[in-house]
Amino acid sequence: MFERTLESLIKGLRSHRGADEVAFVATIQDEIRHEVRSGDVQVKAEAVLKLTYLQMLGYPPASYASFPILEVMAASQYHIKQVGYLAAAQTFNQDTDVLILATNLVKKDLHSSNPLEVAVAVNGLSRIVTPDLAQHLAPDIIGMMNHSKPSIRKRTILVFHSLIAHYPPALDQGWHRLQEKLDDADPSVVSATVNVVCELGRRYPKKFLALSPQLFGLLTNSTNNWMLIKLVKLFGYLSPHEPRLVRKLLPPIKSIISTTPALSLLYECINSVISGEMLALDDGSGSSDELAESCVDKLAAFLEDEEDRNLKYVALLSLVRILPTHPHLVGRYHEAILGSMEDEDLSIRMRALDLAAGMASRETLRGIVERLMAHLEEPDTKKQKRGTAAEGGAAAALRKALSSGPSVNGPQATTPSSLVSTSYRQEIARRILLMGSSNTYAHIDDFEWYVGDVLLPLLRTQEGVADLVRGQLIDVTLRVRAVRPFAVEAMEKLLGDASWSIGGQGIEQLHALAAAAWICGEYHEHVLNPRIAVDLLLPTGLLPGGAGDGNDDDQSDIRVSTMSVCIHGAVKLFAHWAASLSTGAGSNGSDWDDTRLEEVSNVAALLSERLNLFVDQPHCEVAERAREYAHLFEFVLKDLEGAQRAAAASKPVGEERAKKQAAQSSATPLAPPPTDESTASWGESTALNLTASSSSTSLSSQPRGPKSLHLLSPLFTPAPMGPVAAQAQKKVPPPPHLDLRTSLGGEWSVVMPEPPAKKDKEKATGAEPSSSKLAAPSGSKKTKKSKRDEIDRNISEGKSKASSSSPKLVDDDLEDVPIVRLSLSDLPGLAESSSAGGARNGEAESKSDGSKKRKGTRDREKDLLQEVEEMPPGVAGPDQKDGAASRRKEKASSAKSPPSAATLQQPANGSASKAVGVGTPADVDRGAETPSPTPTMVKKKDGGKAKKKSKRAAAGVMID
């Protein structure tokens, strides 16, 4: 007998809550471990039941009870069998090893005559099914779909879905039986079949298109709302794969939307219409437009329901999906949509924000942006009061409890901005910028409003969007010519705003400073006070290490970018300002004088001092720009100092007195016309004055200041900058002479040029190169000088070729004898001539005595000659078996006797390649003998392979 029942276990757990619960549960598990070993199936079933209850409370399942659970499942009593299947469904998983033993057990229960046992087996199988169980039990489940009991048929169809999930081929096996159950006489069986078909149709939509006629009949004839919801969802999955199905579905779905009072069915119909792409149908009848209008009207009614926020949310979600195809229909309810942005639910506000961004047009953009900007204001800037009736019950009580003090007008409602978190503020700002820049700013009709009332306030007040605002400020100023003066003026005010501290260390201030520097530098002609702007563009607070400077990597990158732009913009602004003052084309139109010279000198000195602060920055771009401009300003300052000294030296002594007299005369009233005696002199002076004024006007564009003031401005006068589309670069063809597909690799001929002294000497004397110099054994008809000239000319024309006959290397130490490296292993059986064509000059050896390469070559040649002389008379190659002794004698005699003059002379008719003794490349490939006058073959002792041998004095060929 068991020690305690399930009821006593529950009472014990309630009485041992707290620290004693763990010890109590351990005691219970020890009791269960003994009870499951009992031979009494009733005790074993009670132990399994208690173990299942502990597992439901969160305690881990006991692996030792797996086999006892199977024993309880196999019991003959129904109430015990039910406990076993419950425990199996609760504790078994895909990795339970004893499940393989449950196959025959479940199959036996499925074919039981007791409907209760069949039902409990089907229910348990849906939870413990595995791929193996599904494969073995699929025929039994498919056969039971024709069971006489509707409840069994319904359960069997539902468990069939679980079998298909673990064993997909079961769908093909039971397809016809599933199709038959759509026409079953019992409505519960049909509803279960529709549920299974709906779930499977989502995974295999094309396969279930064949069931469309039966499903359409159920859609038009059924009155069960839940089954209609499933059918509508199923057709939403099928219609994208069969366009003809949309025309068939529009009338019944439109009828359901117009007549059904069930909100759940109404929403599912609208959702299926959208997901099934039924609103995009263009058949000319206008039925899709009527359906879209009906859907939008129903969703707008959901927006007005203040009691059910779920309906409000799903309505906004559906309107977002309808907006791309029918924006004019959604725009009718923009007031209700914008009103939803003041809802306390964040998810509703986000969906309303999505709709507001999508509804923006040229007519509605300004109102929507102003409405959104109101949500970005500080909570103290706007107060709204609502009565108690406008508040919901729980929300009003909570707000009243949290209010700081009593109010005579009732509880105060918070402003919209008080409901907005920081992340939501950033999202609103991003949506505003997205609406403004949509379609290349096509929705903006007043760019001064956009710059002054949208971009600049966002730059000042919102965090996280400063980089976007900076980009749009520059982009708008670049694209819209009419807004440039206003933008430059706004940037000047922003630079001079001490309350915001634009030279501070914040990310927003850095982006603002970068935008101001770019705009003021690029459109300098609109800057009203360049002298002050130059000072403000390079503040000392821009340097890293100041107060509030962080170590954030993002901020460091932004600071580097800002410093680069500010250095460039400040120098650019100074360059054009100084040049305009020098030519008298300044904004105030004043002429160049000593006052202007002193003013420009002071600003140049200040700018040079600020630039020197950025020279030592670790970032290469900032340091490079600062260093280059600092060096230029050193030259400008020296020139300005010289101009000041020259002006001081040439200043007349009575200049100050003349200025005072001129000031007094200008202060007195004009004198009357002169008398007759002085008429002539007065006319002459007037003519002179007019001539001087006209001449000064004609020369006003000529530089009057120091020439150094015009040194910088040409650096910043490129072609006018304009906007470039993203795909514009692809439309620009490359230059015709540029071939980007030519490989840069390949073989290259490296030829060292001759010493210039020797070239000049030969050119002056007009002498031809010495005949004793041997051409490279490459088969070329040209001398070394002509070949070098040809290669140099090919390289200069971009047509250099890697020729196999070109010499690979000509050393400066071997000026007289060109040397070619040859691999003898590639020339088997090649005979060598002792009388190689050409001759070596005696002076060449004396000139190259210091060359290590030639010395090593000479030693190897001597060793080879010695080896040949010591070769025994019986040694011969495979191709020299006959007449070896005679060839040795000829070789020895030719080695001792000097070459004749006829041999040294090179033929001028192109036979130089045959006189060298190595043969042409064609001869080498064919293994032919070299056509030399006295051929002599040289063989090694160890291999019998023919190696090429020649005296250096005769051929000048280096042997590897």
Angle between helices 287-303 and 263-275 (to 10 degrees): 130
754 by DSSP, 3-state: which? coil
Number of Cβ within a 10 Å radius of residue 219: 22
For residues 211 and 937, the model is more confident at 211
Q: What is the pLDDT of residues 728-765, one digit of tens each?
A: 777 777 788 877 777 765 554 444 455 555 444 444 45
Range with lowest mean pLDDT among 456-465, 475-484, 502-511? 502-511
- State the residue for tokens 């160890």: 942
pTM of the full predicted structure? 0.59
Which of 272, 273, 302, 271 minimizes the C-alpha distance to 287? 273
Q: Which amino acid is present at 191? A: S
- State the residue for tokens 């999930």: 165
Three-state SS sequence of 342-379:
HCCCHHHHHHHHHHHHHHCCCCCHHHHHHHHHHHCCCH
CA separation, residue 794 to residues 700, 799, 803 (Å): 55, 5, 12
For residues 728 and 475, the model is more confident at 475
Task: Note the pLDDT of residue 286.
Answer: 67
Range with lowest mean pLDDT among 120-124, 130-134, 398-402? 398-402
Which positions ≥6 away from 861 have C-beta within 8 Å?
Answer: 949, 951, 952, 959
Tokens of 321: 């999906």
pLDDT for residue 784 is more than 80: no
Angle between helices 115-128 and 78-91 (to 10 degrees): 10
Which of 35, 37, 39 minimizes the C-alpha distance to 47? 35
Task: Note the pLDDT of residue 786.
Answer: 57
Q: What is the pLDDT of residues 528-537, one digit of tens each?
A: 888 889 888 8
Task: Note the pLDDT of residue 734.
Answer: 77
Task: Note the pLDDT of residue 169.
Answer: 94
Distance, in Å, from the CA atom of 344 to the CA atom of 340, rounded to the nearest integer, reads 9
- Percentage of residues of the chain with pLDDT beyond 70: 63
Kindly indicate the confidence band of residue 497, based on its pLDDT and cuts at 50, 70 and 90.
Answer: confident
Kindly indicate the confidence band of residue 593, based on its pLDDT and cuts at 50, 70 and 90.
Answer: confident
Phi, psi of 453 (to 5 degrees): -105, -10
pLDDT for residue 663 is more than 60: no
Q: What separation, in Å, do the N-terminal and C-terminal C-alpha atoms of the chain show? A: 103
Tokens of 615: 């020279």
Beta bridge partners, 660, equal none
Three-state SS sequence of 634-680:
HHHHHHHHHHHHHHHHCCCCCHHHHHHHHHHHHHCCCCCCCCCCCHH
Distance, in Å, from the CA atom of 788 to the CA atom of 227, rounded to the nearest integer, reads 93
Range with lowest mean pLDDT among 161-165, 392-396, 678-682? 678-682
Average pLDDT value for the chain: 73
Beta bridge partners, 946, equal 939
**Residue 838 near residue 904, CB atoms below 8 Å:** yes
Tokens of 104: 């025959």
**Residue 954 near residue 839, CB atoms below 8 Å:** yes
Distance, in Å, from the CA atom of 362 to the CA atom of 947, rounded to the nearest integer, reads 90
